[in-house]
Amino acid sequence: MSATISSDQLPLQRLYFWERTAPDRVAFTQPVGGGQVATYTWRQVVDQSRRMAAWLQAQGCQPGDRVAMLSKNTAHWMMTDYAIWMAGCVSVPLYPTLAAGTIRQILEHSGAKILFVGKLDGWAGMKPGVPAGMPCVSHPLSPDDAKRHYPAWDDIVAKTAPLAGEPVRPGDELSTIMYTSGTTGAPKGVMHTFANFMAAVESGLERIPQNAESRMLSYLPLSHVVERALVEHAQLRTGMHVFFAESLETFTADLQRARPTVFFSVPRLWVKFQQGVNHKMPQKKLELFLKLPILKGIVKKKILNTLGLDQCVFAAGGAAPMPAELLAWYSRLGLNVAEGYGMTENIGASHITDGNPDSFGTVGRPYSQVQCRIAPENGEIQVKAPWNMLGYYREPELSKEAFTADGWLKTGDKGSTDAQGRLKITGRVKDLFKTSKGKYVAPAPIEDKLVMHSAVEACCVTGANLGQPLALLMLNEEATKIASGAGKSDLEASLIEHLKHINDTLDPHEQLECLVITTEAWTVDNDLITPTFKVKRNRIEDMFAKNYDRWVGQRKPVVWNR
């Protein structure tokens, strides 16, 4: 089962379509610092892409050669991708937060011939991962060190004649290798074709209202499959306007500039938005206002205006479960947040809800052309779609293991379907653990409840072979400051109340013995989370399991791991 789509809907063909039919329409709005922005029309975008494609060919890049990109999202990230495709090559995007060792691993495994270095925060720590002698190009927003040492994009574009004509690529040809940020083991290179992406986008447009008038803010890594499909490929399909974010500090201003009509975020950020609102307007006060007919409309509008989401007609979350309580909170503000489900291996396009409250707790029905089944032997969700990956690059055995004998993609997630055909995720096949009482515990649903406390940044429920499970918590920055001062006892009391509330909702064998507050931040650098904020459960176990008995032995509901 492979993706088929008419040739005029493939990525490069769509790029040339906009060059011909809307050359002066703005495609990208890019912050360049100091509150200033640069805009790029389709004519400018394609012209720069053509010139860089010609340069790549002049460097000896051959059809099928891999060319890598290490950058945050920018207009030049997209132009680089187009240039790589035009030149006949395969793009290898790297997460802009990777440690040096992982960068080296991916560049060497992929056999990348050239690396484009763009906008980055931690370049000094990443640079040692670039193999000696690898040719590199610096983007206009790249770190100063990269600009000093590598040829500059603008210089290359200025002195290189554009690639002529409209070179295209067949739909079944390899477009990109996307290295997963997997929670276990080394990253695997997921291979996708040009047709895969556009077929998934075409199906997505049946559910997601994107068109030429749409606006999106691109800030989640373009090296992640959902951003790649929902922003890059959907823009090629629709011609919509894409805005980029400058930094975390300017994010609110970036959102208000873009006023996105379609907005996608991960649960962690949806929680942060909620916490920001509650910081200015405590929840009890907000609930009171929302009950008053005269005030509720004004309050809803003001909050969505402040978030920059007043023009949003479709909001979505994904990459991790969205707590039902969080979805209900946004729904009360008049913003229904759809929840999507998928993985890098199927372009993130498997299931999505309509955002209505009756779908909370599920990830909705499958996209058209997607088949879903639950394996009877272990409850695993298995899917079949025309845009399933070709396999893992240079890993034939792992590729074989990713599919069942009859060709269904194994997700590794456990789930069930309801009477309406909606899928509910109940955990990971391998994440279930057994307590010393012989009872199995699924950590994911409990973690969904834990992260609803305003102090919790990330958490991990664990406890194989313990009498009862326990939870490890990482506090957010504000709560960490409170914990080191006079507010610690109030924070602890609040966490104890949260624990009691959660335990009251759990079966006896699931109830948490205690909450353990870890002082070390969980970061990509110390390998405790992935670049998409997923907790690496096995690494948490490696680091903390030796302490479990001691913590439980303290007989306290909240334990501070100093």
Q: Which residue has the tokens 């509008």?
A: 301
pLDDT confidence bin for 484, thresholds 50/70/90:
confident
Please tell me the pTM assigned to this model.
0.85
Q: Give the tens place of pLDDT for each residue, 331-382.
A: 999 999 999 999 999 999 999 999 889 999 899 999 999 999 999 988 999 9
**Tell me, what's the pLDDT at 378?**
87
- The answer for residues whose C-beta is within 8 angstroms of residue 24's C-beta and 6 or more apart is 41, 42, 43
Mean pLDDT computed over 66-93: 98
The angle formed by the CA atoms of residues 136, 141 and 144, to the nearest 5 degrees, is 70
pLDDT at 323 over 90: no
**Tell me, what's the pLDDT at 181?**
64
Mean pLDDT computed over 312-333: 88
**Tell me, what's the pLDDT at 290?**
86
Q: Which residues of 256-277 are buried (b: 16+ CB within 10 A; e: fewer)?
A: ebbbbbbbbbbbbebbbbbeeb
Phi-psi map region of 358: left, alpha, beta (phi>0 left; psi -120 to 50 alpha): alpha
User: Which domains occur in the chain, in start order?
Assistant: 433-561 (3.30.300.30)
Report the SS3 class of residue 215.
Answer: strand
**Tell me, what's the pLDDT at 439?**
76
pLDDT confidence bin for 319, thresholds 50/70/90:
confident
CA dihedral 532, 538, 542, 545 (to 10 degrees): 110
Side chain identity at 503, as an amino acid letter? N
243 touches 257 (CB < 8 A): yes
Return mean pLDDT, the chain.
Answer: 92
More confident site: 493 or 435: 493
Q: Give the tens place of pLDDT for each residue, 114-169.
A: 999 999 999 999 999 999 999 999 999 999 999 999 999 999 999 999 999 999 99
Mean pLDDT computed over 251-277: 90
* Sheet arrangement for strand 351-352: 262-265, 314-317, 337-341, 351-352, 365-366
Secondary structure letter of residue 363 according to DSSP: -
